[in-house]
Amino acid sequence: MPRGHEGGRDFPCFALSFRPVLLPVLTGVWLSLSGALGTELRRDGYSFRPPDTFRMSRWERYAGSQAGAVSEDGVRTRALSAALADGEGPEAATFLIAVVEGGFSASPSERDAFSTAVMQHFQRELGVALTPERVDRVGGPVPRVEVLGTLREAGQVRTVLVAGLASEGRHAVVTVSAPADRWDAMAPRVRASLETFRMEAPVAGVVSRRLAGALAGTLAGALLVSYAAWRRRRQGEGPAAS
């Protein structure tokens, strides 16, 4: 069983490390200049350059989904913001961006909490088991925590990278999934794309339609629960005495 080591501590099951700033930045610059990244995408207060072969997917496939919207406490408003793919069918890779309300600093303590939240998100919300391989803290203009693992879907083994990007006020979570035999060739472009990610400071009073929809759904669910509890209480009391 692989073991990682950081700061004098052993971490069983999967490796944890801190990757320095310079190498990812230089790799990102080289890939950007070489045309391996596409044109800039702006959406819901963030911008980034996806790998050049990825295109926006039909949104109706994902409308209302929280796939990839990893949250450490499960209470924050969160929603899938964009979905890209580099083709169709089981051999295609997907690139999902979710926006989560609340800040994320990618600190060592948040690294551990985020990696746990990723495992729980796949198991409890998506219904699949993600086998973790390593967790990295990556420095740079936008520090991030990366969780790399594999899962089996419809008989196919896929490599999954989930990255929580540091930001104040709200932050993005990126989930990239690809057939395992394609990952090694794709990984440099994916990480170069993550180096270009920027989240704008939130504007007071402005909430995206996707996040507003997620919040409305949460509130509606809370109202239904409250109403059901009130009905049960009324039925238990019976008719009022005259």
| Cα 187 from chain centre | 16
| Domain ranges across the chain | 4-206, 208-237
pLDDT tens, residue by residue, 116-172: 999 999 999 999 999 999 999 999 889 999 999 999 988 999 999 999 999 999 999
pLDDT tens, residue by residue, 56-110: 987 777 777 788 889 887 778 889 999 999 999 999 999 999 999 999 999 988 9
**Identity of residue 112:** D
State both tokens at 235: 């039925």
Most distant pair of Cα atoms in the chain: their distance: 84
Indicate the CATH number for domain 4-206: 3.40.1000.10
Task: Work out the end-to-end distance of the chain between its first and last CA atoms, rounded to an integer number of angstroms.
Answer: 72
Residue 95: name the closest of 130, 117, 67 by CA: 67
C-alpha span between 197 and 16 (Å, rounded): 23
